[in-house]
Amino acid sequence: MTTFREYREAVSQGRHPGLDLPSLPTDAVAFQGERAGLVSRAVAAGIDVAIVFVVVLATVAALWMLSFLVNPTNADLASSFQSAASRTDRLPSVFSMVVYGYVFNVLYWTVFWAISGRTIGNLVMGLRVVNRKGRHPGWFVSLVRALLCTAFPLGLLWVLVSGANRSVQDLLLRTSVTYDWVVGIPWLTKDPKRS
């Protein structure tokens, strides 16, 4: 399979080789494989954080409803006069929900980056996280990157200063976020360079 950089180089030299490339809009070919800027990366991260937030709230709601099956309350008049503190015993503390959200976010980014190099937010925005060889990062790099991105999200602002559109996390781990609108299922797509 031909990379998009090889394709763009061939086209810029006036050659139009019959390469096995997925079809892209004409405007997208010029950006394919280039490093993404702040706005597209921030929107992708926002989508991912919103997904994590919804999952955390849905989990808390499901556990709250399950608590009524495990320990139902009396429907008599005395139970309606319970103190506010005893009625909220079924909900986890805000601290535990924040910790759960943090851990879930790290796991979410780690798994998606290690498997395919893109999360749902990256997929929507046409982005992919790649290592210095242009492949999606391995498990260790994905985990460290997810920890850094979750603990220090302001590191993304370094994209504004960096001439290469790289965040602090990218600089430390030698990764990049590139435009990649081609969608492939990683375990079904055979990459001859990885074999």
From 63, 52, 194, select the one nearest 136 (Cα to Cα). Answer: 194
Domain-wise residue ranges, the chain: 1-32, 36-71+86-179
What is the distance between the alpha carbons of residues 104 and 99, in angstroms, rounded to a whole number? 8
Cβ-Cβ contacts under 8 Å for 160 (sequence gap 6 or more): 38
> What is the pLDDT, as a whole number, of residue 68?
78
Reported as a pLDDT band with limits 50, 70 and 90, residue 35 is confident
Write the CB contacts of 156 (distance below 8 Å, at least 6 apart in sequence).
38, 41, 42, 45, 149, 167, 168, 169
What's residue 122's pLDDT? 93
**Residues 68-111 pLDDT 10s:** 787 776 544 445 555 444 555 677 888 988 999 999 999 999 99
- What does pTM read for this prediction? 0.73
Q: Which residue has the tokens 């921030």?
A: 42
Q: What is the pLDDT of residue 82?
A: 52
Q: How buried is residue 81: exposed, middle or buried, by Cβ count under 10 Å (0-12/13-18/19+)?
A: exposed
How does pLDDT run across 14-28, given as a tens digit for each residue? Answer: 665 554 555 666 666
Q: Check pLDDT > 50 for residue 133.
A: yes
Beta bridge partners of 177: 129
Residue-wise pLDDT for 41-62, tens only, equals 999 999 999 999 999 999 988 9
Instruction: Give 128's strand partners.
Output: 178
- Determine the average pLDDT of the residues in 133-154: 92
State yes or no: pLDDT of 64 exceeds 50. yes
Mean pLDDT of 6-21: 60
Number of CB atoms found within 10 A of residue 99's CB: 12
Mean pLDDT (the chain) is 79
The confidence score (pLDDT) of residue 63 equals: 86
Q: Which two tokens stand for residue 101?
A: 């959200």
